[in-house]
Structures are given as structure tokens and as C-alpha cells.
């Protein structure tokens, strides 16, 4: 009954996410589906927002971003600034690999609020770490999915019970100024398994992989998003080497204890 009511009230759900490892997209898919079976999707890894998109009061925006060193991916900000809200309700989430989400959720909330959206709910969820996959392995798991559904339900109830003009600003964890953006020093590289298919070249959002020699990575351009690792059909592109192995062990020791989702309504 709740879903049917939301479909009548909101003509369209727009879903925006950046999900090189696929987990952020799974979470935004799950949230968006709670409100409407069909949504207009912009997966920013493959579909950029280069022109202004205006969203009205009868629409709902769902935005999901991964957390990179405590911030949202800076490459996504120009896309998000092309969104224009007219008191449009929005749900925002960030997804992190069991370390910390720090200023990322606050940054995403601020950005959309500045663009004319009224953020109904903001959540931070955990997924398997993309660089160190032994941390938070298999997440989001069943327990996480139940909490994603609960968060979605609470957002739905809030929208049903209140007028959009009655929502007070959310008090979200984070700090000002936002922590300094840092580029992760660990970079994926190719190996002899590379068959020069070019899949990694096409998917890389920063064009950090040389078309003529896809085994190499431009460390200055690469943001360690792992899109190339996920798409490689031969498993040639990986994080490797002694520095990576040492960092993996240290990261596991420090961040292996399970963290739980948090949200703000």
C-alpha cells in the first residue's frame, strides 16, 4: 500500500550513483525500488550528467556515492552540480569499506541542499572494501539489506506524514572545513594476463589507462576506483606488490571489526 501511494505522489524517481565496484549501485537500486519500480537512472561511471537536469516537487531524487578517503569522489561533483531541485525531496547515501565515512555524507548533503533539494534522509552504509576486499567481505549482507529497507521505510513514512516545507535541516556527522582530498597512493596495474581487450580503457573514468599499453596506469590520473579491476575479463588488473601486501595486513588489523550503518532523518 505504501509503495502504491508513493508512485501516485511522485511521478518519477531519479537515481544517481557512482559505483565502480558495483556495491553503491546495488544499495541505491534497493532504495529507489522501494518507492517506484521504474526509475530514471544515471550511473555516472558510464552516463555523465553534462547538461542541467531540473527536478520538480513531484519527483524524488536518490543519490549514492562511495567514500574515498573521507570524501565523495571529486570527479562526480560537476555532474551533481548539474542537478537542479525545486524543493525536490532527496535521499542521499554514502557507502564505505568499514573504515570511516568522515565528511562524505555531510559533503553530499550540503551539495544537494545548495542545489535546491530538500534532503529527507541521509545514510552511511558499509560494503566490501574495494581495495582490500578481505575487509567487510560479502557486505552488504542480509543484515545490511534489512537496515537499508528500514531506512527506506522511515524515509517513506516521513514523506507521507509531512509536507516537504516542514522538514528541518538534518544534523549530519562531519566537520568543516571538509578533510583535505587525498589521492590513494595504491594503484592497480596490469600483468602478462592482459589480452589488450581495452575493457579497462573504456571504463576508466579518469582516462588513466593507456590505450596502446593497458598494462600501465597513470598514477597522477588514477583515483583507485577499481572499475578496471572489476571489468577485466582475465584478472590481469590488480593491486599487487610488497607495499600493497603490507598495507593490506595493516588495514585488516585496524578495520576488521564490523561497523553498522548510520542514518539521519
36 versus 137: the higher-pLDDT residue is 137
Q: How confident is the model at residue 5 (pLDDT cuts 50, 70, 90)?
A: very low
Is the pLDDT at 2 greater than 80? The verdict is no
Cis peptide before 177 (omega within 30 of 0): yes
Is the pLDDT at 222 greater than 90? The verdict is yes
Which whole number is the average pLDDT over 116-138? Answer: 97
Q: Say what the pTM is.
A: 0.93
Write down the pLDDT at residue 1.
39
Tell how strand 40-43 and strand 88-96 pair up.
unpaired
The answer to whether the CB of 72 falls within 8 A of the CB of 65 is yes
Is the pLDDT at 166 greater than 90? The verdict is no
Write down the pLDDT at residue 11.
65
Which whole number is the average pLDDT over 74-80? Answer: 97
- 18-22, 56-60, 247-251: least confident range: 56-60
- 8-17, 34-43, 45-54: least confident range: 8-17
The answer to whether the CB of 253 falls within 8 A of the CB of 134 is no
Which whole number is the average pLDDT over 65-93? Answer: 97
The answer to whether the Cα torsion of 130, 186, 78, 123 is positive or negative is positive
Instruction: Output the CA–CA distances (angstroms, integers) from residue 196 to 59, 187, 192, in the order listed.
Output: 43, 19, 10
Q: How confident is the model at residue 21 (pLDDT cuts 50, 70, 90)?
A: very high
Amino acid at each position: 500500500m505504501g509503495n502504491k501511494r508513493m508512485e501516485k505522489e511522485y511521478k518519477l524517481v531519479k537515481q544517481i550513483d557512482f559505483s565502480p565496484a558495483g556495491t553503491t549501485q546495488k544499495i541505491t537500486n534497493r532504495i529507489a525500488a522501494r518507492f517506484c519500480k521504474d526509475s530514471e537512472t544515471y550511473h555516472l561511471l558510464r552516463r555523465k550528467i553534462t547538461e542541467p537536469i531540473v527536478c520538480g516537487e513531484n519527483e524524488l531524487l536518490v543519490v549514492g556515492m562511495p567514500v574515498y578517503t573521507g570524501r565523495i569522489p571529486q570527479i562526480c561533483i560537476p555532474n551533481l552540480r548539474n542537478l537542479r531541485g525545486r524543493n525536490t525531496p532527496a535521499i542521499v547515501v554514502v557507502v564505505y569499506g568499514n573504515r570511516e565515512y568522515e565528511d562524505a555524507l555531510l559533503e553530499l548533503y550540503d551539495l544537494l541542499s545548495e542545489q535546491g533539494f530538500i534532503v529527507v534522509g541521509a545514510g552511511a552504509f558499509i560494503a566490501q572494501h574495494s581495495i582490500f576486499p578481505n575487509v567487510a567481505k560479502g557486505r552488504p549482507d542480509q543484515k545490511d539489506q534489512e537496515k537499508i529497507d528500514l531506512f527506506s521505510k522511515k524515509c517513506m513514512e516521513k514523506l507521507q506524514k509531512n509536507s516537504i516545507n516542514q522538514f528541518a535541516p538534518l544534523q549530519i556527522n562531519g566537520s568543516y572545513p571538509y578533510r583535505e582530498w587525498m589521492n590513494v597512493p595504491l594503484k592497480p596495474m596490469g600483468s602478462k594476463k592482459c589480452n589488450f581487450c581495452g575493457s579497462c580503457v573504456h571504463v576508466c573514468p579518469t582516462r588513466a589507462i593507456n590505450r596502446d599499453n593497458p598494462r600501465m596506469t597513470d598514477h597522477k590520473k588514477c583515483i583507485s576506483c577499481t572499475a578496471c579491476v572489476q571489468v577485466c575479463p582475465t584478472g590481469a588488473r590488480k593491486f599487487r606488490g610488497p607495499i600493497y601486501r603490507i598495507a593490506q595486513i595493516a588495514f585488516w588489523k585496524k578495520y576488521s571489526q564490523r561497523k553498522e550503518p548510520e542514518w539521519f532523518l
